[in-house]
Amino acid sequence: MEKAKISSYQLFVLIFMFELGSAFLLGIGSDAKQDAWLAILSGLSVGFFLFYVYYKIFSFYPGISPVEWLRAIYGKGIGWFFGFAMGIYFLYLSARVLRDFGEMLIISAYPETPLFIITMILALCVMYAVKKGMEVMARTGEIFVIFFYFLAIASFVLITSSGFVKLNYLKPVLENGPMPVLKTMGKETVYIPFGETIAFLSIFPLVDKIKSVKVAGLSAMWLSGTNLAISMLINICVLGVDAMMRSPFPLLATIQEIQLAHFLERLDVLFMVALIVGGFFKVGIYLYAACIMFTELFHVSSYRKTVYPLGLIMLCASAMIASTYAEHIDEGIKVVPVLLHLPIQVVFPVVTLLLILWKERRKKKNRQKPASA
């Protein structure tokens, strides 16, 4: 583990920026149509439970890396295998998010630039920050969160002032009952972005006050979840359901509608910068988590030695995971949630926590036997 310490507020900022990351960009929950905001809030409610599970596991093994407590729970062999699987998972997701933002820049701003060049520049920035350490990333987050939130508030004011908001687009609420919302929640909004906080199991041991981890995490999730729901509400009210579902990046399409007095317009460039900042933190935290896992698994002296090799794998994987953006999105919506997110974000942590509780109960019984005798 890295010898660093971050405050509970810095953890709050990191989770907040991480949660918004690519979720802001992609417009999650759109399959629920005008009820997409309800699907996000439903996913948030389950996300609270998942985060509590992650925190509870950490609370039994504070101060040590995930690889160490996996070995303590499952034994050396099985624990090593699960640790390796989680490391691959984090590295794969870092490549996916890197691809998301590379595609956004290609489609929106640099259509003539090769995708690999765009993602390489982003990846090098992320690798440099990760090698500097989590303390540096946390302090950077404290600066950028102010810029991020200023733009969010400014966009809300400008969009509502532009007169494009049509609340009728939200009707009828729950037109087809709750099932579309529940289906969207079950296949998307639980995992992206709320279940993805499993990556912070590698960062929790760095927090200076362990008891504050739960409050900081749940608060950050609540704030990011409500922001995502509000963002989706605005996207629907400005674009309409059909345009929102057709747009690859609904938030950017909404921002492009801002026009005040034929003077204040084309603000999407500023918001692209904000989105890239969120993507920077999301890719960085995934890469950091992967580095911590592989450092412990292969007994490397410092995680910094793994940053550039794993970063190079991340960069190459981002280019190879799909031949087109449509294929990339289709894979992310239909394949990844079932094969990766569900077992790693939900099933594995819940089973692990139940196993820990069972072991703790056995320990208590064994202690009570000599006392009763």
Write down the pLDDT at residue 11: 95
Write down the pLDDT at residue 248: 81
Please check whether residue 368 lies inside any domain of the structure. Answer: no
Please check whether residue 365 lies inside any domain of the structure. Answer: no
Please check whether residue 120 lies inside any domain of the structure. Answer: yes
Asked if pLDDT for residue 174 goes beyond 90, the answer is no
Write down the pLDDT at residue 263: 58
Please check whether residue 373 lies inside any domain of the structure. Answer: no
Element (H or E) spanning 220, and its range?
helix 213-239
Instruction: Label residue 2 by pLDDT band (50, 70, 90).
Output: confident
How many alpha carbons fall within 13 Å on the CB side of residue 136?
Answer: 11
Element (H or E) spanning 366, and its range?
helix 348-372
Please check whether residue 366 lies inside any domain of the structure. Answer: no
More confident residue, 224 or 164: 224
Burial of residue 360 (CB within 10 Å: 0-12, 13-18, 19+) is exposed
More confident residue, 91 or 240: 91
Per residue in 108-166, pLDDT (tens digit) is 888 889 999 999 999 999 999 999 999 999 999 999 888 888 887 887 787 877 777 88
Nearest by Cα to 337 from 28, 7, 20: 28
Please check whether residue 170 lies inside any domain of the structure. Answer: yes
Instruction: Label residue 262 by pLDDT band (50, 70, 90).
Output: low
Which residue type does 290 have? A
Mean residue pLDDT across the chain: 88
CA 26 → CA 73, 165, 246, 247, 308, distances in Å? 37, 20, 11, 9, 28
Please check whether residue 82 lies inside any domain of the structure. Answer: yes
Question: Domain range spanning residue 228?
Answer: 8-355
Write down the pLDDT at residue 226: 92
Instruction: Label residue 310 by pLDDT band (50, 70, 90).
Output: very high
Please check whether residue 360 lies inside any domain of the structure. Answer: no
Q: What is the CATH number of the domain that holds 119?
A: 1.10.4160.10
Which residue(s) pair with 207 in the sheet? 6
Nearest by Cα to 98 from 278, 236, 228: 278
**Count of domains in the chain?**
1
Which residue(s) pair with 260 in the sheet? 264
Separation CA 223–CA 244 (nearest Å): 23
Instruction: Label residue 373 by pLDDT band (50, 70, 90).
Output: low
Write down the pLDDT at residue 372: 56
